[in-house]
Structure 1
Amino acid sequence: MNELRDNGDVGELIQFIVIKIDDEQYGINIKYIDNIVRMQQITRVPKVDDYLKGVINIRGEIVPVMSVRMKMGLAEDELTGKSRIIILKTGEGDLVGIIVDQVNQVLTLDTNNIEKVRYDDKKGSGHTNFVGGVGHYDGGLVSILDLDAVVSEREVKEKTSNAS
């Protein structure tokens, strides 16, 4: 890890789970992860957006599950033996699951090696930006997911509860 401290200034160290979605690698701050589970039967909820795949039961709690691929405007999930559901804890303490193609590794990054990504939306396209930063490490770059954009707590909670 000494490669990360090349400038002598040490920032805060943060651990990320590196996941694969499509052909890209993304990092999720480990503090938001409650659990990582293998794919299982997802109970479909009627009258919700296509990216909301349904709900699963985790330790007696009903957890909404969404497709990050579809939320990002990518192709439908191709479930394999490497596909996983990552259970995230929201700011309000609720749980939400996201389907990812693969979980690769745990990566520790110094905050000095994470650059914030800023988007210029002068055209007012209204597109949501799912990447909040880019982390540099000895193996390359990893896009850091902006979980507030990916998992809009209110949106997921309202759509799954109103559809019931």
Structure 2
Amino acid sequence: MSQKILSEKQYCTFYLDNHFLGIGVREVQEVLKYQPMTSVPLADDVVAGLINLRGQIVTALDLRKVMGLAHLDGRLPMNIVVRSDDGPLSLLVDEIGDVVEVEADFFEDPPETLEVSFRHLIRGVYKLEGKLMLVLDLERAVFSLVDA
């Protein structure tokens, strides 16, 4: 039984466009509904703004822009606050999913059919019942932007 527990991973899931994605729960600090943002003049266009998280200023990145997807259609995005070496960072997503537990044995490379615009930002996929969960590579998708 302990072997099975060791081979499973938990992911915080979310939606972007018609994609179902996951981030390891250990990388996630918290999830929040839409937060008012202050714009950042002259910032890269992936920076949506700054949010106030209980007195701490946190940069919010538009994950749609990072992944080359069209702007969200009038709905307010949700926030997934992730941990980085420089402090928390908020990722704006369309919708928050559940925490899912998967077995490492079901992990596969990203499919060739995945959009080229963001295939390199995906570590791999898990086949779940009725859908694929794309595992976001935070290092490539987000942290490399912050360090640049």
TM-score, with structure 1 as normaliser: 0.76
TM-score, with structure 2 as normaliser: 0.84
Counterparts of 1:13 and 1:51 in 2: how far apart (Å)? 33
Letter in 1 for 2:43: V
Counterparts of 1:137 and 1:36 in 2: how far apart (Å)? 22
Consecutive unaligned residues in structure 2, runs of 5 or more: none
Q: What is the aligned partner in structure 2 of residue 68 from structure 1? A: 63
1:85 equivalenced with 2:79 (yes/no): yes
Compute the RMSD of aligned alpha carbons.
2.5
Consecutive unaligned residues in structure 1, runs of 5 or more: 1-8, 120-124, 159-164
Counterparts of 2:86 and 2:44 in 1: how far apart (Å)? 23
Counterparts of 1:21 and 1:74 in 2: how far apart (Å)? 8
Return the offset for 1:133: 0.7
Letter in 2 for 1:56: I
Q: What is the aligned partner in structure 2 of residue 32 from structure 1? A: 27
Distance 1:38 1:109, change over 3 A: same
Return the offset for 1:34: 0.5
| 8 Å Cα contact 2:28-2:83 kept in structure 1 | yes
Q: What is the aligned partner in structure 2 of residue 108 from structure 1? A: 101
| Larger CA deviation: 72-81 vs 96-105 | 72-81
Of structures 1 and 2, the larger Rg is shown by 1
Return the offset for 1:55: 0.7
